Amino acid sequence: MDIRAPEQQYNPYRVYTREEWARLRDDTPMTLEPGEFDRLRSLHDRLDLQEVEDIYLPLSRLLSIYVDAMQRLYYAERQFLNIRDRKVPYIIGVAGSVAVGKSTTARVLQALLARWSPRPKVELITTDGFLYPKALLEQQGILQKKGFPESYDLPLLLSFLSDIKSGRRHVRSPVYSHLTYDIVPNEWAEVDQPDILIVEGVNVLQTGKLPRDGKAVPVVSDFFDFSVYIDADEAALRRWYIKRFLALRDTAFTNPKSYFNRYALLSDEEATATATAIWERTNLANLEDNILPTRPRATLILKKGADHAVESVALRRL
Ligand SMILES: Nc1ncnc2c1ncn2[C@@H]1O[C@H](COP(=O)(O)OP(=O)(O)O)[C@@H](O)[C@H]1O
Ligand SMILES: CC(C)(COP(=O)(O)O)[C@@H](O)C(=O)NCCC(=O)O
């Protein structure tokens, strides 16, 4: 037990206020066009010029240092071992609760990193493509646990990442549809030897239970070179989830093909009650049991305030 006062104990993270972090941008140029912000922003997330300048440009600068250093280490080791093979993709994981804004962060990073010079090939995948099909989740009685570790085809995700890291060409990932609430049959997203791959999903930092006999069991984050956890207080996440549900009721859910079409005619009060119930039963339970416990495994933690803006940044010490 560490009996030192909390302020004297070792903290694996250096923590920066938004203002301190923003200064680390240095002279990193803004490479996004004004018109791109709407395309990159998810429903109800916040993304403006200030957020990109203060948070994402310093992060892009930091990542360029990490990627460059890793490449040099990789070549040095290849020289030492006297082997020649192609360089492996650099993989960045993006984790956090449902409704925290992972998709926005992942898309902004993809856009910024793709504009480094010389232009790297930056691909993005979301882990929802590796959810089991709805029929299988129903059969196992876990449809209400969508997003929990047991709802994913983990061996398929691990073999996908292993193929990417081993330099395979045309690696395919299944595709998930929020509209049908299911995997799309016979549709694939293809990843073809990127320089950088961003892997976004609620559970990407999970380790599962490690076997007692010491047998090697890969976990998703074994394939990551860098990871970002997006954090926010539960009260804010709940509010964002409910607000998004109300917005989807008036848009996506009105499509007769939407799995949630039956919610399209709910009153504000009814929709709020339904969203609160889904939040508590599924997404809050998943946050508490499976997602939040992985936060201390991230390289970088972006903490958002009630207005979606990042208010502090924690970077793991090397
Ligand atoms: N039922 C739904 N119908 C349509 N789009 C949805 C639905 N649920 C979530 N989305 C969209 O899917 C994306 C991923 O959402 P989510 O997994 O909650 O991650 P995050 O909010 O952290 O990006 C977001 O762009 C969100 O707006
Ligand atoms: C599809 C998700 C599990 C997240 O997938 P991810 O890409 O993070 O693996 C989540 O967005 C979701 O739809 N959850 C189901 C419960 C709900 O409708 O809120």
Per-residue tens of pLDDT for the chain, all 318 residues: 566 776 677 899 999 999 999 999 888 888 888 778 777 877 677 788 899 999 999 999 999 999 999 999 999 999 999 988 777 899 999 999 999 999 999 999 999 999 988 899 999 999 999 999 999 999 999 999 999 999 999 999 999 999 999 999 999 999 999 999 999 999 999 999 999 999 999 999 998 877 888 888 889 999 999 999 999 999 999 999 999 999 999 999 999 999 999 999 999 999 999 999 999 999 999 999 999 999 999 999 999 999 999 999 999 999
- Mark the binding-site residues for ATP, compressed into ranges: 96-103
Contact 165, 91 (CB under 8 A): yes
pLDDT at 37: 79
23 lines ligand 1 (CB under 6 A): no
Walk across the sheet containing 300-304 and list its strands.
13-17, 310-316, 300-304, 226-231, 90-96, 196-200, 122-126
- The rounded distance, in Å, linking the Cα atoms of 59 and 50 is 14
Ligand 2 atom at minimal distance to the Cα of residue 126:
7
Question: Does the CB atom of residue 131 touch ligand 1 within 6 A?
Answer: no
The helix or strand, by DSSP H or E, that contains position 95, with its residue range, turns out to be strand 90-96
Query: Which region holds residue 152: left if phi is over 0, alpha if psi is between -120 and 50, else beta?
Result: beta
Reference 95, options 245, 282, 236, 298; nearest CA is 298
CB atoms within 10 A of CB 90: 23
- Give the chain's end-to-end CA distance (angstroms, integer): 24
pLDDT score of 212: 82
Q: At a CB cut-off of 8 Å and minimum separation 6, what does 152 contact?
A: 127, 130, 131, 132, 203
Q: Which domains does the chain have, with CATH numbers?
A: 10-206+217-316 (3.40.50.300)
Say what the ipTM of the complex is: 0.92
Residues with Cβ within 8 Å of residue 182, at least 6 apart in sequence? 133, 134, 135, 176, 259
Secondary structure of the chain: what % helix, strand, coil (to 5)?
A: 45, 20, 35
pLDDT at 3: 67
Q: Separation of 41 CA from ligand 1 center, angstroms?
A: 11
| Residue from 42, 44, 45, 98 whose mutation best tests the ligand 2 pocket (most atoms within 8 A of CB) | 98
Distance CA 230, CA 309 (A): 11
The ligand 2 atom nearest the CA atom of 147: 3
- Measured in Å, residue 294 CA sits from the centre of ligand 2 at 17
HSE at residue 310, side-chain half, CA atoms within 13 A, is 34
Identify the pLDDT of residue 213.
86
pLDDT for the residue numbered 92: 98
List residues near ligand 2 (CB under 6 A): 98, 126-128, 146-147, 201-202, 278, 282-283
Give the C-alpha separation, 82 to 122, whole Å: 29
Length of the chain: 318
**DSSP 8-state class, residue 288:** I
- Please give the pLDDT value at position 47: 81
